[in-house]
């Protein structure tokens, strides 16, 4: 919570946000004390809890599906794929890369939580298409004094990057790739196109 607001004001602002969820959006200007984005999200969670109710879902995804995708905020894969909570694991990082951590996550998802099928979903107009790998690594090294030891993931052909990700996962002894397929999601119209 914003440190410049007294505690009583913080409570009042959270209460206003709760009422806003019930009766319509108030503008930030209507508050006497500015709230951070995180403060707003925490307040919205209170209203979500009231609507959500208590329900215990199994830990294992019902569809036995893991989806590797990008962290891009324009991807609503639950909506686009018709998924509900508890049906699939969504594993996200910048670009949907098959990094060591993704392989670790897939291993745990498959071995401990029963997923079998893997979807790789990259998307159009990705930020990773907007820079050169070596140039950004040089810039980071100049800025912080250390060169990144990990791949940043720049690419220029989304279909080829999906194929590369699939190949990396298929080569891993830690991932069961019996059923693995790759797709490109169009962020402008929501279309999902399979990459062959």
Q: What is the mean pLDDT of residues 140-162?
A: 96
Reply yes or no on whether the pLDDT at 26 is more than 80: no
Domain ranges of the chain: 7-52, 65-195
Top-ranked range on mean pLDDT: pick from 26-30, 41-45, 90-94:
90-94
Backbone angles phi, psi at 160, to 5 degrees: -65, -35
pTM beyond 0.75: yes
- Scored b (16 or more CB within 10 A) or e, 48-73 reads eeeeeeeeeeeeebebbbbbbbbebe
Second-level CATH architecture of 65-195:
3-Layer(aba) Sandwich (3.40)
Average pLDDT score, the chain: 89
3-state secondary structure of 92: strand
Reply yes or no on whether the pLDDT at 194 is more than 60: yes
């Amino acid at each position: 919570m914003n440190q410049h607001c007294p505690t009583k004001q913080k409570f009042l602002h959270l209460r206003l946000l709760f009422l806003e969820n019930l009766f319509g959006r108030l503008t930030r200007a209507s508050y006497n004390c500015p709230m951070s984005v995180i403060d707003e999200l925490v307040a919205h969670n209170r209203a979500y809890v009231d609507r959500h109710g208590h329900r215990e879902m199994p830990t294992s995804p019902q569809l036995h599906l893991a989806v590797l995708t990008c962290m891009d905020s324009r991807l609503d894969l639950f909506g686009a794929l018709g998924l509900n909570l508890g049906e699939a694991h969504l594993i996200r990082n910048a670009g949907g890369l098959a990094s060591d951590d993704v392989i670790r996550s897939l291993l745990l998802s498959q071995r401990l939580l029963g997923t079998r099928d893997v979807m790789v979903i990259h998307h159009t107009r990705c930020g990773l298409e907007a820079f050169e790998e070596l140039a950004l690594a040089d810039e980071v090294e100049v800025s912080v004094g250390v060169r990144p030891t990990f791949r940043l993931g720049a690419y220029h052909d989304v279909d080829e990057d999906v194929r590369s990700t699939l190949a990396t996962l298929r080569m891993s002894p830690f991932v069961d790739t019996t059923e693995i397929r790759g797709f490109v999601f169009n962020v402008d119209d929501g279309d999902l196109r399979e990459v062959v």
